[in-house]
Amino acid sequence: MPYTVSDIIEEREVLCITKDDSVLHALSLMNEHDFSQLPVIDEKHRVLGLVTYESVLDALRNFNLRLDELKIRNAITQTYFFRMDDTLSDLLERLKSTNAALIKKPDDTLVGIVTTYDVTEYFRQYAEDLMIVEDIEGMMKDLIRISFD
């Protein structure tokens, strides 16, 4: 049975901004919550894309505006969507070319963001668990050998 996106993410409320918010507000939220991106939604809570540090820098260059003049609508970047039951291998393939993907439920409700950091953390924990099992197995073998010697 393949691993799915649901193995790596817990459903939770996602902090979002609107296309009419200021970039300064978004950067403040990103800094406060230690996020590298935020989903952008419209008035009906449909996801329009992401704003990232890179998209803000691109918007500053392209629109020739000061940071305090820049709106989120100027800095939206496209994103990829996955569902909770999509395979983890598909998500990993997409994360090779982007830093984040948005996760939706079947009713299109946004349930989270998976980043390259999240994936790394998931597999780090998975590897640590395997190493602990390997240590326990080694100790059990040693105890069995000692018992029969």
pLDDT in tens, 28-70: 999 999 999 999 999 988 899 999 999 999 999 999 889 999 9
- 70-90 residue pLDDT tens: 999 999 999 999 999 899 889
Whole-number Å distance between alpha carbons of 20 and 73 = 6
**Both tokens of residue 38?**
């935020």
* pTM of full prediction above 0.95: no
13-42-54-93 Cα dihedral, nearest 10 degrees:
60
Q: Compute the distance between CA of residue 67 and CA of residue 13 in angstroms, rounded to an integer.
A: 28
**Which region among 111-115, 127-131, 135-139 has the lowest average model confidence (pLDDT)?**
127-131
Q: What is residue 26's predicted lDDT score, i.e. its pLDDT?
A: 97
Q: Quick one: pLDDT band at residue 1, thresholds 50, 70, 90?
A: low
The residues that bridge with 81 in the sheet, in sequence order, are: 102
Nearest-CA neighbor of 41 among 18, 73, 70? 18
